[in-house]
Amino acid sequence: MILHSASDITQTATDSLNSIMDASIGGFTFEKFLSTLILIVVCLIIRRILIHIAGGFFNRLAIDKTLWNFLMSAIKGILLFAIVVIVAESLGIPSSSLIAIFSVLGLAISLAVQGFLSNLAGGLMILISKPFSVGDFIDVASYTGTVTQTSLIYTHLLTSDHKVIYIPNSEISASKIINYTRQTERRIEIFVNASYDAPVADVKNAVREVLDTLPEILSDPAPEIHVSAYQDSSIQYVVRGWVPTESYWNAYYALMEGIKDSFDAHGIEMNYPHLNVHMVNDTKN
């Protein structure tokens, strides 16, 4: 009697389980729900593993942190979209319909944020090609300053008078970029004028005395002093000297001031453009 009752209970439980598994709401059975739930869990686990592998790979490449964040976000989004497609297929929803819907949405969004996407593309180009880094002094898009931050949308410049300029990356990627601090040494080039009455050797010696007193001027490569042009009222000289990049402006201003003082000490006239007018007496009646 007891065995018969246990058998009845087991059969009843089995029938109840089968009825639950066979139960459906609009064609969606509990069995399909359970299999879909397992599929989602498996997909999420695989997604997490792939994200971990991609993160380790990008870390080994030692890429910029901003670019790293963008790539990881893009990978997470792509994998999430793939999971949605896989789950939809398991539920009998055609993936082509989902892809078509997302394509239309993507097109509408891209048209609405065209400027944003242009800046985003420019930011990716800058982060990949790396024409400058944070701390570099650059000239770009008619602006000059020190790079303080490079994001995917804007590059931040700090000017010499402490103005912060936010330049869209699309404008930077389409402009000529001059990086003044990428190299460890930089050349000073100054043009000065001296009178025709001053011997060339005396002018060069006066300039060389200034170059020798400036510790920032490197001896290798050696400084240069040359006659560069014969002008209407004076001879033009070009003075070149190499200095450490961080000492450029200090050495530049010191050299400019020193040349004037040295010319005054040696009696060398720094001529400026002028016109001599000769008056001729008219003796005719």
Tens of pLDDT, residues 37-74: 888 888 889 989 988 888 888 778 766 676 777 778 87
Across the chain, what does the average pLDDT equal?
82
Residue 9 pLDDT exceeds 60: no
Q: How confident is the model at residue 273 (pLDDT cuts 50, 70, 90)?
A: low
Query: What's the pLDDT score for residue 3?
Result: 46
Which residue intervals of the chain bear CATH 2.30.30.60?
Answer: 130-179
* 28-29 and 137-140 strand pairing: unpaired
Over the stretch 64-94, which tens digit does the pLDDT of each residue have? 676 777 778 878 888 888 888 888 777 777 7
Which residue intervals of the chain bear CATH 1.10.287.1260?
Answer: 29-112
Query: What's the pLDDT score for residue 2?
Result: 46
- Choose among 141, 139, 135, 134: nearest CA to 246: 135
Residue 14 pLDDT exceeds 70: no
φ, ψ of residue 157 in degrees (nearest 5)? -115, 140
CB distance 97 to 84 below 8 Å: no
Which residue type does 156 have?
H
Residue 197 pLDDT exceeds 60: yes
Query: What's the pLDDT score for residue 47?
Result: 87
- The CATH number given to 185-265 is 3.30.70.100
φ, ψ of residue 168 in degrees (nearest 5)? -60, 135
Q: How confident is the model at residue 24 (pLDDT cuts 50, 70, 90)?
A: very low
Architecture of the domain made up of 29-112:
Orthogonal Bundle (1.10)
Look at 78-92, 95-109, 125-139 and tell me which has the smallest mean pLDDT. Answer: 95-109
Query: What's the pLDDT score for residue 1?
Result: 45
Residue 7 pLDDT exceeds 80: no
Look at 26-30, 83-87, 209-213 and tell me which has the smallest mean pLDDT. Answer: 26-30
- Choose among 72, 67, 70: nearest CA to 51: 72
Q: How confident is the model at residue 237 (pLDDT cuts 50, 70, 90)?
A: very high
Architecture of the domain made up of 130-179:
Roll (2.30)
Which residue intervals of the chain bear CATH 3.30.70.100?
Answer: 185-265
